[in-house]
Structure 1
Amino acid sequence: MPEREDSWGVLEPRQVVRKFLARPQHEGVGAVVRRSIGRFELRYFDPFLVLDEFSVTAPAGFPDHPHRGFETVTYMLQGAVTHEDFEGHKGTIGPGDLQWMTAGRGIVHSEMPAAQGTQRGLQLWINLASQHKMIEPRYQEISSKDIAEASKDGVKVRVIAGEALGTKSPIYTRTPTMYLDFTLKPGAHLQQPIPKSWNAFVYVLEGEGKFGNAKSSTTSAHNLLLLGSGDGLEAWNKSAKPLRFILVGGEPLGEPLVQLGPFVMNTQEEIDQTIEDFENYVNGFEKARHWRSEAAIELDF
């Protein structure tokens, strides 16, 4: 097999095998999301459970709700969101900031607007392997100024997780994951390696571009592209405006999946146990009995 010419070359480009537009739908209380993964067209793309591009204007938001068995990754594009949970953790993430939350055995939290106007961002749900589903909750938060960035030949990347253009993220991913925010100037061409065994997708945020094949049809904002087999992604910006998209890849878990809303386990028995734990405030949900977020109290949710 020939050697790569550089550290970011691609020998077997992944082609786009499926494409669809993420249309707006209502979630939370008065919030609007463009859901791509997690809709009826694409229930699960191992290990990814949900991808939402959210738009929230106060008083709408995502008041107190539980999670178990997976991770949520919140990446702000515009505005700010305040997060509170029953462990006493509270913080606000603004434009370009990141929160990587491992729900593990259980968390109850709220996510509400913290600025005027519309707050926009992405939230990705990543499944956890059965051996990690009941670990203690944890957080990794990185401010925008601390997210690793690199540029080359008209390509700029923010490395949220994984590695690109020789730059690595400090984020630890329990389920091996890459999460890259690319911006291509007009005329730019990207080659980004992806581990062959991983599933991967592109979600376009701004502009329009060609993915997988220089002769492919142009894809614009709010479209999700599932990528086929290969060792990396090729993308081109042949327009007159910048192209911005995220490239996300992850190692498939290959395990049974049973999901009931915010609870994601491996068997129906585990889901039944999770519901019982939550309703009885036990086995990780003890602090939910007497906790309400400040936002919920203020809004009387």
Structure 2
Amino acid sequence: MENQANIRNIVNIKTPPAQPGFLGPDHTARAVVYHEFEHSDPFILLMDDFLDKKDDEPVGGPHPHAGFETVSLLLEGEIGDEKHMMKQGDFQIMTAGSGIVHTETIEGRSRMRLLQMWLNLPKADRWAAPRVQDLAFENAPATEMNGVKTVLYSGAFAGLRSPVKNHVPLVVADIRLQPGAKLSESLPASYNAFLYVIEGNVMVGQQALEINQIGWLSRDSADGTSWLAMVAGADGARVVLYAGEPQHDEIVSHGPFISDHQEEIKQLYSDFRHGKMRHVSTLPEGQRFNY
């Protein structure tokens, strides 16, 4: 039974603008979560990248990361190279940890839309051994009833449980609602959570959330259960739910690296320049997981 005291409500709405991306004139990017870590912990940033590439020149390339995890959900298209390709609906968590180099390449003409998050690591796991976990869309746990289809990529939600391993407790769910359909599901009360609307609109309590808007949900710092309830508008809706356990640690961010101290950032740049970071494609089997 829902506890009215623990109903999640919308407490903050933002409409991130589409801005020119770094991959050229065919790339637009929305900074869904950006420069607000004191409120968004454990979520460092979330970018919504859309590429409608009309030429045959490859874009992207290899680059390093360390001190956090990338959480990627491909909404449309394909991204990667011949050694590893993500397709529409695929999900990946890459634990950069002590340092890793990966390649995100788009060859030829293509349309691609990618949600990529930087997720903080617990302080004890900041320099964990790198690992990559890939969950294919067709293998992601899913349920459909009463006009609501939920695909779960991480954590436990809607009676589903993802096989993905988490350093930080994390729920990522892609929720599609038919017109007027209602969802009511539980979430840990202490998780920081938000909804990002991909299509249509939803009502959360008395608050409407429209396409391309992010709605931050109320949170209780105590352990226990909270309830998320939403109703789709006349055209239906598609929303992505992100919910994670805050880590309450300050971070230092610079370029592609996250750390606890500025001195560590300098060491990470030195490690990268001296070739001490392995490319993700060279990780041993014990650090690569396919579900």
Alignment TM class, shorter chain as reference: 0.7 to 0.9
Among 79, 84, 97, the residue aligned to 1:91 = 84
TM-score (norm 1): 0.83
Which amino acid in the other structure matches residue 244 of structure 1?
A: R
2:146: which partner in 1?
153
Relative to structure 2, which stretch is displaced further, 23-32 or 155-164? 23-32
Residue 104 of structure 1 aligns to a residue in which SS? coil
Tell me by how many angstroms 1:110 deviates.
1.7
Cα pair 1:10 1:233 within 8 Å, conserved? no
Among 254, 258, 263, the residue aligned to 2:257 = 263
The separation in 2 between residues aligned to 1:14 and 1:118, in whole angstroms, is: 35
Tell me by how many angstroms 1:78 deviates.
1.0
Among 189, 192, 203, the residue aligned to 1:196 = 189
User: 1:25 aligned to 2:15?
Assistant: no
User: 1:228 aligned to 2:223?
Assistant: no
Tell me by how many angstroms 1:286 deviates.
6.2
The separation in 1 between residues aligned to 2:75 and 2:235, in whole angstroms, is: 18
2:267: which partner in 1?
273
The separation in 2 between residues aligned to 1:76 and 1:179, in whole angstroms, is: 13
Cα pair 1:158 1:180 within 8 Å, conserved? yes
1:141: which partner in 2?
134
Which amino acid in the other structure matches residue 18 of structure 1?
A: N
Identity of aligned residues (%): 31
Cα shift readout 1:254-299 (whole Å, capped 9, x = no counterpart): 11110002100111122222222223333xx2669xx9xxxxxxxx
Residue 66 of structure 1 aligns to a residue in which SS? strand
The separation in 2 between residues aligned to 1:271 and 1:121, in whole angstroms, is: 27
Tell me by how many angstroms 1:60 deviates.
6.3
TM-score (norm 2): 0.86
Residue 265 of structure 2 aligns to a residue in which SS? helix
Which amino acid in the other structure matches residue 30 of structure 2?
A: R
Tell me by how many angstroms 1:108 deviates.
1.4
Relative to structure 2, which stretch is displaced further, 256-265 or 56-65? 56-65
The separation in 2 between residues aligned to 1:132 and 1:186, in whole angstroms, is: 43
Which amino acid in the other structure matches residue 213 of structure 2?
A: N
User: 1:176 aligned to 2:172?
Assistant: no
Tell me by how many angstroms 1:159 deviates.
0.6
Q: Structure 2: give runs of 5+ residues left out of the alignment.
A: 221-225, 283-291
Cα pair 1:51 1:124 within 8 Å, conserved? yes
Which amino acid in the other structure matches residue 120 of structure 2?
A: N
Cα shift readout 1:16-56 (whole Å, capped 9, x = no counterpart): 11111111223443232111112x4x355101111111112
Residue 275 of structure 1 aligns to a residue in which SS? helix
1:78: which partner in 2?
76
The separation in 2 between residues aligned to 1:53 and 1:222, in whole angstroms, is: 9
The separation in 1 between residues aligned to 2:108 and 2:153, in whole angstroms, is: 23
User: 1:165 aligned to 2:158?
Assistant: yes
Tell me by how many angstroms 1:150 deviates.
0.4
User: 1:35 aligned to 2:31?
Assistant: yes
Cα pair 1:151 1:165 within 8 Å, conserved? no
Cα pair 2:135 2:153 within 8 Å, conserved? no
The 1:280/1:52 distance shift into structure 2, 3 A limit, reads: same
Number of matched residues?
A: 269
Cα pair 1:28 1:62 within 8 Å, conserved? no
Cα pair 1:79 1:119 within 8 Å, conserved? yes
The separation in 1 between residues aligned to 2:154 and 2:8, in whole angstroms, is: 20
Tell me by how many angstroms 1:62 deviates.
3.1
